Structure 1
């Protein structure tokens, strides 16, 4: 659990601990890792109101194609990344919205890299990047309603290295960019 303090409550000398779900923590850890690199830009797309309280109080909701955009200045590579995290050994396809698949697929037809960061909250914090083209190929071939690390290993994924800090993780974003740019050059 990550501790967050409300400035208003701190002013009144009260402390309230707010738990962040593990998926949001993965996104935060990734953002913090990217932001340590001076030549890499990060932008988190805003969640809409439907992301909170199960969306019961909204009449219209938009759906982002991905969680964040990352731009590497050196390679001039733009990434559209959707991040998925699970405590289990597999990721159900129900975790991924159709519009995300369709829009990442459309985006990948341009000069950028679009795909998923899959995080398995295991002892090793196994994390993989998969381009949307490889994801589409995998889904059409495996014939299952979920996929696991073994499935991912068959479809040109890039393993993202991480290390545990005290509580949270730091990701080797520099190596991720190097690896994905190399894979991108091979696949083109």
Structure 2
């Protein structure tokens, strides 16, 4: 009976985590101004089958494409109830065991590749869900992310690391059960930053 209770609790926690990430994603989507193009890159079916039997596995370079003339935003969304987020770095890899990072190698590489082109803003939208029910959400340029994480001695970063390394707070308003994010202001700020 204990094993069944443990499994039920574990599955319930996984479902809640998935739902919270989806809630964040949906809130972002609903916050995008109507005059912007929004595309969620759907995860390939095999990404849910975490076996080593596949010869290769398609993986999206990031979650969202958002276009507001003249800028294209390539964004990876992450949400956590914890105090930190793990990230891939080559020297963290232990080939003797299976590892999972919140921010994966292919996501870092995808954002870096996108960032090489003019007119593209590439980075992370990072959401911290705090125990008191409030949330803090930041945009972090891929370059600032790498500059910070390449020098960190730890295998995760926290909200302070983001704030101290040029993370941009996204204004948000709590609705009844979700948040509305001021994506319009974020886009305007990025256009001013990019001088377009």
- Residue ranges of structure 2 left out of the alignment (5+ in a row): 1-14, 88-100
User: Normalized against structure 2, the TM-score is what?
Assistant: 0.77
Number of matched pairs: 163
Q: Which has the higher contact order (CA 8 A, sep 6+)?
A: 2
Structure 2 Cα separation of the partners of residues 51 and 87 of structure 1: 23
8 Å contact 2:47–2:58 — kept in the other structure? Answer: no
Match of 1:155 among 155, 165, 189: 165
Deviation digits for residues 124-152 of structure 1 (CA, Å, limit 9, x no counterpart): 31000011011110111222101111111
Alignment-derived partner of residue 111 in structure 2: 104
Structure 2 Cα separation of the partners of residues 55 and 46 of structure 1: 17
Q: Is 2:83 the counterpart of 1:85?
A: no
8 Å contact 1:119–1:128 — kept in the other structure? Answer: yes
Superposition deviation, residue 33 in structure 1: 0.9
Superposition deviation, residue 50 in structure 1: 3.1
| Residue 57 to residue 70, structure 1, CA distance change in 2 (3 Å) | same
Alignment-derived partner of residue 33 in structure 1: 31
8 Å contact 1:45–1:69 — kept in the other structure? Answer: yes
Deviation digits for residues 89-139 of structure 1 (CA, Å, limit 9, x no counterpart): 111111011111112111101020110000001233100001101111011
4+ runs of 1 displaced by more than 4 Å? Answer: none
Alignment-derived partner of residue 10 in structure 1: none
8 Å contact 2:64–2:75 — kept in the other structure? Answer: yes
- Residue ranges of structure 1 left out of the alignment (5+ in a row): 1-17
Alignment of 1:69-148 (within 5 A): 69-73=65-69, 76-93=70-87, 94-111=101-118, 112-122=120-130, 123-148=133-158
